[in-house]
């Protein structure tokens, strides 16, 4: 049966909309080049020597209507290592450009990503299956198109962890090692070394980015730009209606709104993307391209996980909303030739800012267990952010612990107040008398605010624990999992995958994954900051 891929994977119904409806690069040869007036180039994955399946996502497999036996078969491994294609697969790499760190970078494209094909399940849900690290494409420039196990472990687990956290995201179906080594200079410091290679199968309704439209605007190719925008609306925004100038405006407005929702979720869970270039921004408002991302351990709005961004901190945690807005301006500039109405496009940009402020307030109220955000809560929130930076404070543990604070007990000592959040502090010596007094002053202000709402503690705790996760994919956990995987031990990859399926649950037997970053990880490579090549 395994020798008959059409039978084994018969539920994978391919529907190659992208390659059928959009202009292709006429050159079929796989060599690096500039591509004009084309949305993609045909290219096949590069076969690998000894692929081995490390893990797969149960939920995503079920959504694609793949059985457990399908996913555990050798055929599955061969397909998602790029060694075997089903007859209906039409592999291709997308063409796009982008602004990187605020500067136009020209043509970029899928340099190490190859789309195997597009599938539709019985519910009518459409998904693109994409291999990351499956070899060179016409867009690889001087790179090899490969990926290392270290970064692939990070991307695979984080994609699924974000999904279960309720953050809009692309997904990851499988993680496969290739049996081959890939040379990487992890920190661009002149010390390259061979590392195990791996491939992640990423899954999304679309992998179109802001840069997908920018490239044609930069080439003054309005015809192809229009074809791509029309295709986008017809396939992923069909509820808006038939493409027209007014519908283009509605589409852009919805892209802005979806971007708001994504960024608010990032801020809620303490996620920092690290490289918010326009080629890494999805028009569906999905988190895409998990490179040098990171999770806030201690609350620091100026923290960036990207070594390339260490000087200017353009993509720091506290600036992600502003950068998203800047990126939306670039998308607006790109589609302007189709609309020629700067005022309406500008209104959508302004609406983005207002909607972000509104949703951010609602999110902050939910994290604090408030029934609704009130005008006077601005002071409560601003004072909280000051308090969180007085002492090195773990953001995730602080909010989770705050849910345990009693607001129904009228008289509590400072020590009683601090006991609920004591696990969140990294450096005990920073808890001076003055800092303790400031923290307790805020806690009493918070208690009073909860009493105004008339919310019982048990009710508040349930509500807060639904939005404040107990488990997040901390950088040091990613590094430990990658280290073990490089030694051939994949147990932690699978265990963490299971833990992050239920990030809001207590999971007492997994409590070791819900603790502060250990001291050894404070400055260790991979546990604090990473480069774009990671």
In a domain, 481, yes or no: no
CB 477 within 8 A of CB 496: yes
Q: What is the DSSP string of 122-167?
A: TT--EEEEEEESB---TT-TTS--B-BHHHHHHHHHHHHHHHHHT-
Asked whether residue 310 falls in the same domain as residue 431, the answer is no
Asked whether residue 108 falls in the same domain as residue 50, the answer is yes
Which of the listed residues 187, 210, 233 is the one where a domain comes to its end? 210
In a domain, 296, yes or no: yes
Q: Say what percent of the chain tops pLDDT 90.
A: 91
Strand, helix or coil for residue 101: coil
Which positions ≥6 away from 399 have C-beta within 8 Å? Answer: 367, 464, 468
Asked whether residue 123 falls in the same domain as residue 202, the answer is yes
Asked whether residue 345 falls in the same domain as residue 414, the answer is no
In a domain, 233, yes or no: yes
Strand, helix or coil for residue 399: helix
Residue 369 CA to residue 153 CA, distance in Å, equals 34
* pLDDT tens figures, 206-249: 999 999 999 999 999 999 999 999 999 999 999 999 999 999 99
Strand partners for 445: none
Asked whether residue 256 falls in the same domain as residue 146, the answer is no
Give the pLDDT score at 190.
76
Distance of CA 318 to the CA centre of its chain: 16
In a domain, 515, yes or no: no
Q: What is the DSSP string of 468-532?
A: S-S----HHHHHHHHHHHHTT--HHHHHHHHHTTSTTS--GGGGGGSSPPPGGGSSSTTTS-B-T
Give the pLDDT score at 525.
72
Which of the listed residues 310, 332, 367 is the one where a domain comes to its end? 367
* pLDDT tens figures, 191-200: 788 999 999 9
* pLDDT tens figures, 283-320: 999 999 999 999 999 999 999 999 898 899 999 999 99
- Total number of domains in the chain: 3
Supply the residues annotated as catalytic.
Answer: 279
Predicted confidence (pLDDT) at residue 526 exceeds the cutoff of 90: no
Asked whether residue 248 falls in the same domain as residue 356, the answer is yes
Strands (E) across 344-394 are located at none
Asked whether residue 250 falls in the same domain as residue 351, the answer is yes
Give the pLDDT score at 534.
46
Give the DSSP letter of residue 25.
Answer: P
Asked whether residue 239 falls in the same domain as residue 360, the answer is yes
Residue 336 CA to residue 342 CA, distance in Å, equals 7
Cα–Cα distances (Å) from 323 to 281, 297, 302, 329, 361, in that order, read: 11, 22, 14, 10, 19
* pLDDT tens figures, 386-397: 999 999 999 999
Asked whether residue 347 falls in the same domain as residue 449, the answer is no
Q: Report phi then psi at 369, rounded to 5.
A: 75, 25
Task: For residue 357, give its domain range.
Answer: 225-367
Give the pLDDT score at 2.
45
Of 192 and 40, the one with more pLDDT: 40
What does the pLDDT average to over 119-132? Answer: 96
Strand partners for 55: 175
What does the pLDDT average to over 38-53? Answer: 98
CB 524 within 8 A of CB 479: yes
In a domain, 520, yes or no: no
Q: Say what percent of the chain tops pLDDT 70.
A: 97
In a domain, 97, yes or no: yes
- What the block records as the tokens of 219 is 């080439």
Asked whether residue 56 falls in the same domain as residue 122, the answer is yes
Is-above-0.75 flag for pTM? yes
Pick the closest to residue 157 from 147, 141, 172 (CA basis). 172
Predicted confidence (pLDDT) at residue 1 exceeds the cutoff of 50: no
Which of the listed residues 367, 388, 414 is the one where a domain comes to its end? 367
| Residue 8's pLDDT band (cuts 50, 70, 90) | low
Residue 105 CA to residue 523 CA, distance in Å, equals 31
Strand partners for 119: 14, 127
* pLDDT tens figures, 476-504: 999 999 999 999 999 999 999 999 999 99
Counting beta carbons within 10 angstroms of the beta carbon of residue 84, is it exposed (0 to 12), middle (13 to 18) or buried (19 or more)?
middle
What does the pLDDT average to over 90-97? Answer: 97
In a domain, 321, yes or no: yes
Predicted confidence (pLDDT) at residue 46 exceeds the cutoff of 70: yes
Asked whether residue 427 falls in the same domain as residue 344, the answer is no
Asked whether residue 405 falls in the same domain as residue 307, the answer is no
Give the pLDDT score at 524.
78
* pLDDT tens figures, 348-387: 999 999 999 999 999 999 999 999 999 999 999 999 999 9
| Residue 522's pLDDT band (cuts 50, 70, 90) | confident
Taking the chain, what is the end-to-end CA distance rounded to the nearest angstrom? 39
In a domain, 11, yes or no: yes
Residue 78 CA to residue 58 CA, distance in Å, equals 18
Predicted confidence (pLDDT) at residue 531 exceeds the cutoff of 70: no
pLDDT averaged over the chain?
A: 95
Q: Report phi then psi at 514, rounded to 5.
A: -120, 45
DSSP percent split of the chain into helix, strand, coil, nearest 5: 45, 15, 40
* pLDDT tens figures, 447-484: 999 999 999 999 999 999 999 999 999 999 999 999 99
């Amino acid at each position: 049966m395994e020798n008959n891929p059409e039978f084994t994977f018969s539920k994978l119904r391919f529907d190659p909309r992208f390659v059928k409806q959009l202009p292709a690069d006429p050159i079929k040869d796989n060599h690096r080049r500039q591509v004009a007036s084309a949305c993609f180039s045909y290219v096949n994955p590069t076969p690998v020597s000894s692929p081995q399946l490390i893990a797969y996502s149960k939920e995503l497999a079920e959504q694609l209507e793949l059985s457990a036996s399908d996913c555990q078969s050798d055929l599955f491994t061969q397909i998602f290592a790029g060694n075997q294609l089903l007859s209906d697969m039409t592999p291709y790499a997308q063409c796009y450009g982008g602004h990187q760190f605020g500067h136009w970078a020209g043509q970029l494209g899928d340099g190490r990503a190859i789309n195997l094909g597009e599938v539709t399940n019985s519910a009518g849900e459409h998904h693109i299956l994409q291999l990351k690290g499956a070899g060179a494409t016409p867009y690889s420039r001087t790179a090899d198109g490969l990926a290392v196990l270290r970064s692939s472990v990070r991307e695979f687990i984080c994609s699924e962890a974000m999904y279960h956290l309720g953050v809009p995201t692309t997904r990851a179906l499988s993680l496969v090692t290739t049996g081959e080594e890939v040379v990487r200079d992890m920190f661009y410091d002149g010390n390259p070394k061979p590392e195990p290679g791996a491939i992640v199968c990423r899954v999304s309704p679309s992998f179109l980015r802001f840069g997908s439209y920018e490239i044609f605007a930069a080439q003054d190719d309005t015809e192809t730009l229009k074809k791509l925008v029309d295709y986008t609306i017809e396939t992923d925004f069909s509820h808006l209606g038939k493409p027209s100038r007014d519908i283009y405006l509605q589409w852009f407005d919805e892209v802005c709104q979806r971007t708001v929702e994504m960024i608010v979720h990032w801020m809620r869970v303490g996620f920092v993307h690290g490289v918010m270039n326009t080629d890494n921004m999805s028009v569906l408002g999905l988190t895409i391209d998990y490179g040098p991302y990171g999770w806030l351990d201690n609350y620091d709005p100026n923290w960036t996980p990207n070594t390339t961004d260490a000087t200017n901190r353009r993509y720091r945690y506290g600036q992600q909303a502003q950068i998203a807005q800047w990126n939306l301006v670039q998308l607006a500039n790109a589609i302007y030739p189709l609309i020629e109405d700067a005022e309406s496009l500008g209104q959508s940009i302004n609406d983005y800012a207002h909607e972000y402020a509104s949703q951010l307030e609602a999110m902050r109220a939910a994290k604090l267990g408030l029934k609704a955000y009130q005008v006077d809560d601005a002071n409560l929130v601003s004072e909280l952010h000051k308090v969180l930076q007085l002492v090195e404070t773990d953001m995730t543990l602080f909010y989770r612990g705050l849910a345990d604070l009693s607001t129904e007990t009228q008289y509590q000592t400072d020590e009683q107040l601090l006991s609920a959040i004591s696990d969140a502090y990294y450096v005990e010596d920073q808890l001076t008398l003055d800092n303790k007094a400031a923290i307790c002053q805020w806690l009493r202000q918070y208690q009073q605010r909860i009493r105004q709402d008339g919310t019982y503690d048990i009710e508040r705790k349930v509500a807060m624990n639904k939005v404040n996760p107990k488990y997040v994919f901390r950088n040091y956990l990613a590094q430990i999992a990658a280290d073990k995987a490089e030694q051939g031990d994949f147990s932690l990859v699978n265990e963490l995958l299971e833990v992050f399926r239920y990030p809001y649950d207590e999971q007492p037997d997994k409590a070791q994954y819900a603790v502060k970053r250990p001291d050894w990880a404070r400055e260790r490579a991979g546990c604090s900051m990473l480069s774009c090549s990671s």
